[in-house]
Amino acid sequence: MHYCDLKTKLKNNSSSSTHIKSNQTINKFKLYFKSIMHNKQAQVMELQRSLFGIGIVILDQNGTLVFEKSKGVVENDAQMSNEVAEVMAFIEGLNASSLLGFKNIDVFSDVDTVFRLITGKLGCRGQKLAVLIEEATLLVLKFSYCHAYVQNRDHSLVAVKLARDGIVAKRKELIETCGICYTDTYIDQMLSADGCVHRYCFACIKKHVEAKLLQGMGLPKCPHEGCDLEVKLDKCRKFLTVELFDLMSERFKEATIPAAQKVYCPYPRCSVLMSRSDLQGWTCSDQGATRCRKCDGLFCISCLAAWHSGMTCSSFKQSNPPLFVEEATVKAIAAKHFWRQCSVCNHIVSLVQGCYHITCRCGHEFCYLCGAEWKNKRATCTCPYWDERNIIYS
C-alpha cells in the first residue's frame, strides 16, 4: 500500500502553506469507493449509453460503518472508460463526506491508475476525465486533511458489492420484459399505444404493425387481447421502413375522414385518398368535374369515375366506355378469383382467411359473398357467416 497527502500536495502546488494535523491527533474517517461497469455493455451500446454502478462506504477511525451508498448511473457515452467511472465514484464519495461534515478523511482506491490520476502522477486522457479530475481537486480543498491510498481490492469488498447492487437497481429501472417475446429490453426500445399500459419491444411491435398494414386490416392497435387503443403514427417512425411508414400515414388519413367524405382518385396509377371538403376549391368550370389533388386528372364528383363531359352519370355507366387497360386487367383478375368490390370506395377486397364479414379500408362493412351492407354489426343478407375452409388449414 502506498499513499499521497492530497491536501498537502494541492496546497503545495498552489504555493500556499497549511498546517496538516498529525495522523494520531485527528478524528479520521475512511472513505472506500468503487465503480463497476455493466458486464453486458453491448446491449447498452445499442442505446449509445454506458451503465455502471457506484459503491460508497465510510467508516470511522474504529472501523464502524457510518455511511454507505449504492447507485446506478447511466451516461450518454457508449465508450466510457473504467477510469472515468472510478473518478466519478471518487467524486460521489467526496460529496457524501462533505455533506456529512467530515473534515479529515483517508481515501482508498484499488485501482493504481485512478490513484495516480487523483494524485496528479498521471496525465488525463480526454477532456471528460480532465474535467472530472478538476472537479475532484476542488472538492478535496474542502477538507482539512485528505490522504489517498491505493490498496488491494479485498479491503473494499463492501464497496464492490454496493456498486454491483447499484447496477442491479438501475437495470430494473431501465429494463422491462416484452409482453410478446418475454425478452428483457431497455425501456428506450419499448413502445405502447397512447394511454395503454401494455408495452412491447420494437421488434415485436414492428412485426405486428407490418402484418396489420400489409393485410389491409386498418390501423394497427395494441397487440394485447381486448385492447382497442391504436398505436400512434409518430411512435412507429423509429422502426418502420419509409414505404410502410407512408402506408401507415395513408391509413391514419383514411381513419380521420368520415366514410361519406372519402373520395379516391379513379385513375389506377394514382388512387390517392381525398376528402370531398378538400375538393371544394378544385372544382372545374364544367359542372360536376373536379381535379385530383395529386395527379391533376379530371373526374366526376358525383359518380367518382373519370370525367365524362357532355354525358350524365347514368348514361356514362350504360354506355360502358372502354376501360383503362390496367383497370380492365384488375377487374378480370377480380372476377376470376371472385374478389369483391366495395360499393362505397370501389376498393377490391380479397378474402384470404376468416369470416365473410368484411370491413373495407374506407370503413364500409359488407358481406363478401353477395356485397350486401352490414348495419350495426349485423348482416342484412342470409349468406353464411363463414366457411370452414377459410378458418381451418391442413
How much of the chain exceeds pLDDT 70, in percent?
A: 81
Is residue 349 scored above 60 in pLDDT?
yes
Mean pLDDT (the chain, rounded): 77
Looking at the structure, do residues 108 and 168 belong to the same domain, yes or no?
A: yes
Same domain, 166 and 229: no
pLDDT of amino acid 253: 77
**390 or 190, greater pLDDT:** 190
**Domain CATH code at residue 72:** 3.30.420.10
Overall domain count for the chain:
4
Residues 28, 97 contacting (CB under 8 angstroms):
no
Q: Are residues 40 and 99 in the same domain?
A: yes
Pair 215, 364 in one domain? no
d(CA 322, CA 390): 36
Residues 87 and 101 in one domain: yes
Query: Per-residue pLDDT tens for 292-343?
Result: 888 888 888 888 888 888 788 888 777 755 555 566 677 778 777 778 888 8
Return the closest-CA partner of residue 2 out of 108, 81, 122. 108
Task: Check whether residue 24 and residue 127 sit in a common domain.
Answer: yes
In 116-173, DSSP assigns E strands to 145-150
- 27 and 143 both lie in a single domain: yes
Output the DSSP codes for 14-57.
TT---PPPPTTTS--EEEEEEEEE-S-HHHHHTTT-EEEEEEEE
Tell me: pLDDT of 373 over 80. yes
The more confidently predicted of residues 270 and 10 is 270
Residue 370, SS3 per DSSP: coil
pLDDT at 40: 52
Q: Is 19 found in the same domain as 162?
A: yes
pLDDT at 104: 92
Please report the beta strands in the chain, taking only residues with DSSP state E, as ranges in sequence order. 2-5, 29-37, 50-59, 65-75, 104-109, 145-150, 175-177, 184-186, 190-191, 200-201, 262-264, 273-275, 289-291, 298-300, 340-341, 348-349, 357-359, 365-367, 374-375, 378-379
Q: Are 299 and 290 in contact (CB under 8 A)?
A: yes
**pTM for the full predicted model:** 0.47
Indicate the residue among 294, 321, 348 that finishes a domain. Answer: 321
pLDDT grade for 78, boundaries at 50, 70 and 90: low
pLDDT per residue as tens digits for the range 171-216: 777 777 888 888 877 777 787 766 777 888 888 888 888 777 776 6
Contact 304, 272 (CB under 8 A): no
Task: Let me know whether 43 and 73 are in one domain.
Answer: yes
Give the per-residue pLDDT at 192. 74
Shared-domain flag, residues 7 and 132: yes
Cell numbers for 208: 405486428
Residue 94: pLDDT band with limits 50, 70, 90: very high
| Structural domain that includes position 342 | 327-391
Residues 346 and 367 in one domain: yes
**Domain termination site, one of 295, 321, 347:** 321
Q: Is the dihedral of CA 152, 156, 160, 163 positive or negative?
A: negative
| CATH number of domain containing 251 | 3.30.40.10
**Whether residue 60 sits in one domain with residue 100:** yes
Burial of 387 (C-beta count, 10 Å sphere; 0-12/13-18/19+): middle
For the record, the C-alpha cell of 128 comes out as: 471528460
Question: What pLDDT, in 10s, does the model give residues 124-181?
Answer: 777 888 888 889 888 988 999 888 888 766 556 777 888 788 777 777 777 778 888 8
Count the neighbouring beta carbons within 10 Å of the beta carbon of residue 116.
16
Confidence band, pLDDT 50/70/90 cuts, at residue 99: very high
Of the three residues 173, 196, 218, the one that is the final residue of a domain is: 173
